[in-house]
């Protein structure tokens, strides 16, 4: 198998940033290529502007003059600027796709013929990776590249996935679990594995990433299609209005030139949002990629913005995923220090996170240090096992055990001791509070007895209550999914601040919950990584699969989190809402700023025939030609000004729908109304000095 070059930086590391001159220059050729009428026809508003630019060009050639050529030039610039917005957004994706392409190498696969689980020797053949088909088994050893997407069916190995995730730390991939999926192009660092190929050539995970990030596979979302239809309808209405306006102008002895009529159409139709709509959608996908989330469709991003219910796994999402020792609860007659020392000694051979946390707590609360190797040279450690459910140590004539209440109670009873009722009450109290009780017992010359209980607590991640509060203000209901018993689940749910919980959850329970929510007209989002999560991920409106999960989970979801961080779901919802807010804000701004252009062009067209219309010239523009020119120049320049906002997105603040509506109307509605009046007046002051535009 051929070696690979060092992994390139992943796509999400490409800087987002604001618009800069270099982006404009590199994207400009792409904007010019988009002037092809066959491509422009997909954007009805800007297609009308392009047709208008062609008409004014012909008019300027037939009847040359400064005014028609200036209007023609700015109409073409309007179309180019609109294409530039989309080209800049796509350019980012292409840069990310080029980075991904550099991670791919032509590899040779070691295909195993007639492979069966556990077989020792099988016929091996070397074939190009492109020749692999779903169902083929390949052998990959340390230092070799995994030739295609698949699942580990034999062995365990450390895999370098930095080419995909950007994380330098290797991950473990093994057969028979939820961490069996491997991605073509990643490198095996140790051991050997047998992989069954699950993807066809050209349809691998990296291939799909390349297609999606460069925009080739981006389909318009339902809301985007609906808005396009609305914009097309408005364009048709204004076209009809302008066409029927000319006969009235002729009747009033104020016949208008084709240049003025086209300028009026361009001023009336919503060119600003028409120019930026596609860029907004592409940028929304781009923001997800920057956060290492691959959305399989724009529909999923949009749905994330409309989510009503969020299903979150407890372990690793709401809590840290490992329980930690919180306090020592000695029985009557036993000092806390004595209990802490015994618990520490019994945990020295316990390599679980819980066992290590007991040692840390003993050191922190009672200044107990870990024993040196010399002091424990004759100690016999008893490691924790799932069968005994205890760990401990035999040292200096003492036998110490720590573990589950039932297991330790049985050990004490077998040793001739008794378990005080006080211990049972403490165990019950800790359990009711959502904790896990570990009983510590000692056997020495005084007999076998219980020293006390160690309270293990499932630690809620810092800041989760505040984040859930933000989601609540957004109108999103959060539900914690856990396999814990209802008492423990309730306690953790109250501490974390989630709205509801589903305890002792099975795959069927998750599916039933999602269907109930959807039956009530709600959109549901959830995360998952195992094969048993696949049905629920497929049923959810937004299903985020972890990259470390199984192929079945990644195929079922409509997003993949390359970092495998379950809390990313909250960020995904925020990005979806930001996309919708940006689209709504710029639509509001676009419609509002059209009003000022009416006040610029309408009086200019008919003031000679109807002097009374001069009262509508509230900006006191210099002349009819300077008024039309100023409106068209502003119409083109505002697109360039708004490109950074379309790409970056309107800043999102968690709030209710009514508050967002009020903010949009106040900031972008009122701002879109006032700004053009000022800008057009300033442009007019400059235009009036241009010869031929007086």
Which residue positions form the known binding site for ATP?
350, 354, 384-391, 402
Beta bridge partners, 561, equal: 293, 546
Two structure tokens written together for 291: 């956060």
Residue ranges for the binding site?
350, 354, 384-391, 402, 529, 533
Residue 549 to residue 627: CA distance in whole angstroms:
62
Element (H, E) at 681: helix 670-687
**Rounded-to-integer distance, Cα 568 and Cα 548, Å:** 14
The answer to whether 364 touches 353, Cβ cutoff 8 Å, is no
d(CA 188, CA 199) in angstroms, rounded, equals 19
Binding-site residue set for Mg(2+): 529, 533
Beta-carbon contacts of residue 295 (< 8 Å; ≥ 6 apart): 212, 285, 288, 301, 558, 559
SS3 223: helix
Strand partners, 110: 126, 139
For residue 560, give both structure tokens.
């993949």
Helices (H), 320-420: 336-347, 353-366, 405-414
Task: Centre a 10 Å sphere on the Cβ of residue 461 and count the other Cβ atoms it contains.
Answer: 15
CA distance 174 to 180: 5
Q: Decide: 49 and 106 in contact? Cβ < 8 Å.
A: no
Q: Is 69 exposed, middle or buried (0-12, 13-18, 19+ CB in 10 A)?
A: middle
Give me the active site residues, please.
Answer: 313
Strand, coil or helix: what is 624? Answer: helix
Q: How many angstroms separate the CA atoms of 669 and 195, rounded? A: 57
| Residue 188, strand partner residues | 159
Quick check: 550 and 537 in contact, CB under 8 A?
no
The residues, any chain, with a CB within 8 Å of residue 308's CB and separated by 6 or more, are 475, 476, 477, 517, 522, 523, 524
Half-sphere exposure of 165 (CA within 13 A, CB side): 22
């Amino acid at each position: 198998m051929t070696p690979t070059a060092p992994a390139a930086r992943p796509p999400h590391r490409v800087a987002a940033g604001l618009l800069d001159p270099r982006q404009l220059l590199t994207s400009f050729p792409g904007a010019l290529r988009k002037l092809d009428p066959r491509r422009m026809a997909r954007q009805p508003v800007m297609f009308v502007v392009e047709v208008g630019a062609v008409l004014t060009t012909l008019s300027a050639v037939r009847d040359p003059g400064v005014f028609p050529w200036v209007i023609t030039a700015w109409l073409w610039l309007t179309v180019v600027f609109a294409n530039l917005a989309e080209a800049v957004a796509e350019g980012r994706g292409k840069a990310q796709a080029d980075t991904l392409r550099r991670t791919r190498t032509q590899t040779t696969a070691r295909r195993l013929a007639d492979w069966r689980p556990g077989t020792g020797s099988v016929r091996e053949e070397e074939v190009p990776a492109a020749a692999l088909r779903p169902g083929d088994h390949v052998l990959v050893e340390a230092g070799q590249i995994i030739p295609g997407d698949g699942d580990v069916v034999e062995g365990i190995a450390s895999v370098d996935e930095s080419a995909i995730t950007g994380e330098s730390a290797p991950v473990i991939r093994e057969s028979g679990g939820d961490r069996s999926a491997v991605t073509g192009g990643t490198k095996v660092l140790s051991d050997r594995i047998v992989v069954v190929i699950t993807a066809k050539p050209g349809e691998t995970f990296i291939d799909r990433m390349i297609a999606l990030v460069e925009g080739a596979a981006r389909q318009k979302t339902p809301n985007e299609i609906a808005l396009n239809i609305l914009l097309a309808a408005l364009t048709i209405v204004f076209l009809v209005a302008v066409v029927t306006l000319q006969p009235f102008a002729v009747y009033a002895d104020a016949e208008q030139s084709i240049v003025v009529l086209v300028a009026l159409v361009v001023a009336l139709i919503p060119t600003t949002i028409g120019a930026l709509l596609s860029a907004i959608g592409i940028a929304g996908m781009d923001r997800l990629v920057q956060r290492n989330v691959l959305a399989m469709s724009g529909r999923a991003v949009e749905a994330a913005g409309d989510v009503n219910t969020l299903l979150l796994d407890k372990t690793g999402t709401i809590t840290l995923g490992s329980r930690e020792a919180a306090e020592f609860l000695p029985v009557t007659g036993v000092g806390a220090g004595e209990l802490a020392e015994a618990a520490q000694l019994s945990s020295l051979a316990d390599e679980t996170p819980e066992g290590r946390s007991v040692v840390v707590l003993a050191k922190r609360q009672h200044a107990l240090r870990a024993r040196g190797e010399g002091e424990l040279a004759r100690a016999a450690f008893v490691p924790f096992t799932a069968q005994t459910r205890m760990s401990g140590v035999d040292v200096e004539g003492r036998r110490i055990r720590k573990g589950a209440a039932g297991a330790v109670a049985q050990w004490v009873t077998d040793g001739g001791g008794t378990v005080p009722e006080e211990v049972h009450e403490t165990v019950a109290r800790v359990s009711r509070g959502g904790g896990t009780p570990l009983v510590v017992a000692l056997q020495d010359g005084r007999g076998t007895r219980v020293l006390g209980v160690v309270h293990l607590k499932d630690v809620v991640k810092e800041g989760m209550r505040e984040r859930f509060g933000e989601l609540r203000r957004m109108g999103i209901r959060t539900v914690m999914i856990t396999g814990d018993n209802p008492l423990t689940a309730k306690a953790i749910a109250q501490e974390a601040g989630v709205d509801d919980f589903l305890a002792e959850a099975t795959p069927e329970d998750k599916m039933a919950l999602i269907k109930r929510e959807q039956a009530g007209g709600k959109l549901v989002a959830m995360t998952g990584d195992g094969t048993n999560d696949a049905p629920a991920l497929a049923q959810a409106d937004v299903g985020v699969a972890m990259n470390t999960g199984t192929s079945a989970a990644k195929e079922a979801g409509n997003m993949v989190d390359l970092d495998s961080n379950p809390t990313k779901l909250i960020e995904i919802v925020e990005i979806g809402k930001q996309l919708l807010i940006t689209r709504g804000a710029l639509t509001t701004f676009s419609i509002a700023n059209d009003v000022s252009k009416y006040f610029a062009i309408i009086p200019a067209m008919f003031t000679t025939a109807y002097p009374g219309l001069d009262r509508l010239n509230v900006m006191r523009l210099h002349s009819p030609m300077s008024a039309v020119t100023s409106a068209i120049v502003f119409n083109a320049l505002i697109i360039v000004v708004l490109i950074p906002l379309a790409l970056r997105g309107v800043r999102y603040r968690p709030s209710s729908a009514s508050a967002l509506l009020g903010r949009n109307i106040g900031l972008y509605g009122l701002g879109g109304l006032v700004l053009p009046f000022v800008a057009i007046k300033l442009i007019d002051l400059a235009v009036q000095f241009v010869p031929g535009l007086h």
